[in-house]
Chains A and B, each alone.
Chain A
């Protein structure tokens, strides 16, 4: 015993620097593998089955995907089509949060009394849960009791029922989503503007640059890290949109506000029976859409990593 202990200890001691990182990584990797990495693979697997979530899975090959995308003699799933187009609308319009955030940040980047409080109050929609934002906006839009129609009434415009109108409902929800997202982008740009090099600005000013030219050629290049993060979080946020839709319209009216994330949830845990296989196929499609963006983000981060060395 007395001979074994010192050798085993010295083995650890000798390899301490090689072993320690793995010991420190172990718990995080275990959790992450069990709850994130492995489930991604399982979802792929389930998407090739028909499964109600309880009984046996029946292997059906790519039938789920064929039904979803309308391969063969069947038509494309209409609900999927609507969801997909709505996702694109979300993506395009949600990105308005980036310039809007920049605009508000420029507006607030001053040193007057109480400006700190103004900045935090402008930011604070982001801290509220999306569920509450959804409720707040659905009351704001109410045809009879809502403030929006009260204001429109002052200008003589007729009442509109935004969330009840299939052509308007998605835009109404996106507007609600833009509110906290703009606040997020604003705070990113405010911190970015803080770090802008004052000497460069002064030098450019002496050269006669001002207004838009100054913004475009001097300020924005220095705000690049902030812009990058703003794009990342906004794109991810747009594709993740679920809470607002669920709270404000629950996919309606007539399914016009569904997006892929919501449609997947609806299929998998619907009141007409659980279609986990079909739901997983939708999730896989959404995953591949996101993977394009994730790949790009990772590539830019990797480039920065290389540059840092």
Chain B
């Protein structure tokens, strides 16, 4: 293990390390702690210039209550849900099929198609922006949830296929050969042999895509406008102009907006990290 395990060091070193850890953490999360602190302060503290002192009263419930009851925030959160969940399902479904095709079968152009998916996943969004916006308008889906979902599914398929294909490639191939010898139809091999083995990959991708899509801002701005379809990342700008300079409410709002992926991460940490490393670092 590197660096040398702390258990082999002197007692003094161990104690210093244990003492430094929390300080390092606080320093690392300082901007976030500041926002969390803002979000429970009363408005009066800002008027009095008490920015960094102890809150004069605890107003967490009032502030967060206002976010939920007096703004469009619930609407935006709901939109984000309606955008994120279908995208996750769609992208995972498409890419597990594509990954199966690319990971199991040998055919001409296999590697070329695979590299096409990888390359497409790295291109700058801006080169897609004008045509995709145009296409969405022509399909009558501008400023709609479906328009965003369709694009997100298509774009995320690139990354997901990379991930799925590499995962399926690592599965024991004799399993598939055995099924073939038994005369099992190819599509049944997918559903009954490969899919059950893919559970960890499916979970990893699902959490990862959930986070990516929830946090998307660029496409939300390009393809939607207004509270009927905008997700929370885009809606927060409108929220902030509604509560201009009311730092306690803006802070509460941004914490609410950031929370769902954070919750997802803490609930499914193992899968999340497996997904992030693209399965390349085990």
Contact = CB atoms under 8 A, between A and B. Distances in A.
Q: Do A and B come from one complex?
A: yes
Interface of A: 16-18, 20-22, 24-25, 27-29, 31-32, 34-40, 42-43, 46, 53, 106-107, 109-112, 118, 120-125, 127-132, 135-137, 139-140, 144-145, 147, 150, 179, 184, 187-188, 191-193, 195-196, 198, 201, 210, 214-215, 218-219, 225-226, 228-229, 236, 239-240, 242-243, 246-247, 260-261, 264-265, 268-269, 276, 279-280, 282-284, 286-287, 290, 293-294, 297-298, 301-302, 305
Nearest to A228: B280
Contacts of B118: 297-298, 301
A111 B237 CA distance: 42
A188 B254 contact: no
B262 to A, nearest CB: 5
A297 B120 CA distance: 12
Q: Max chain A CB contacts within 10 Å: which of B111, B266, B280?
A: B280
B258 interface: yes
18 contacts: A28-B157, A34-B135, A36-B154, A38-B131, A39-B128, A43-B129, A112-B18, A125-B29, A129-B215, A136-B34, A136-B254, A187-B276, A214-B2, A236-B122, A265-B129, A280-B130, A294-B122, A298-B118
A15 B38 CA distance: 66
Interface string B233-274: 100110010000001001100110110011011100100010
A267 B133 CA distance: 15
B217 interface: yes
A100 B132 CA distance: 37
B25 to A, nearest CB: 6
Contacts of A214: 2
Given A109-B3, A127-B265, A20 B124 contact: no
Contacts of B130: 39, 42-43, 46, 53, 268, 276, 279-280, 283
Contacts of B276: 184, 187-188
B154 A17 contact: no
Given A128-B261, A129-B257, A130-B215, A118 B21 contact: yes
Nearest to B153: A31
Contacts of A137: 31
A149 B5 CA distance: 39
B119 A136 contact: no
A25 B237 CA distance: 39
Contacts of A39: 127-128, 130-132, 135
Given A276-B130, A284-B127, A139 B117 contact: no
B217 A201 contact: no
Interface stretch (B57-65, B66-74, B92-100, B196-204): B92-100
Nearest to B162: A301
A214 B4 CA distance: 11
**Which 3 pairs, one residue from A and one from B, show the smallest C-beta to C-beta distance?**
A35-B154, A129-B215, A39-B131
| Chain B interface mostly | helix
Interface string B103-142: 0110100110101111110111111111111110000000
Contacts of B266: 120
A77 to B, nearest CB: 16
B54 interface: no
Nearest to B190: A24
The size bracket of the interface on B is 35 or more
B95 A28 contact: yes
Contacts of B221: 246, 265
A107 B158 contact: no
Contacts of B116: 32, 37
Contacts of A196: 1-2
B1 A109 contact: yes
B278 interface: yes
B222 interface: yes
Contact of A20 (B125, B131, B187): B187
B6 A121 contact: no
Given A31-B153, A35-B128, A279-B129, 9 more contacts: A24-B100, A110-B6, A125-B29, A130-B215, A131-B233, A132-B255, A136-B32, A136-B34, A228-B280
Contacts of B82: none
A224 B155 CA distance: 28
B30 interface: yes
Contacts of B1: 109, 196, 198, 201
B5 A110 contact: yes
B173 interface: no
A147 B262 contact: no
B261 A122 contact: no
B281 A226 contact: yes
A31 B98 CA distance: 12
A164 B51 CA distance: 20
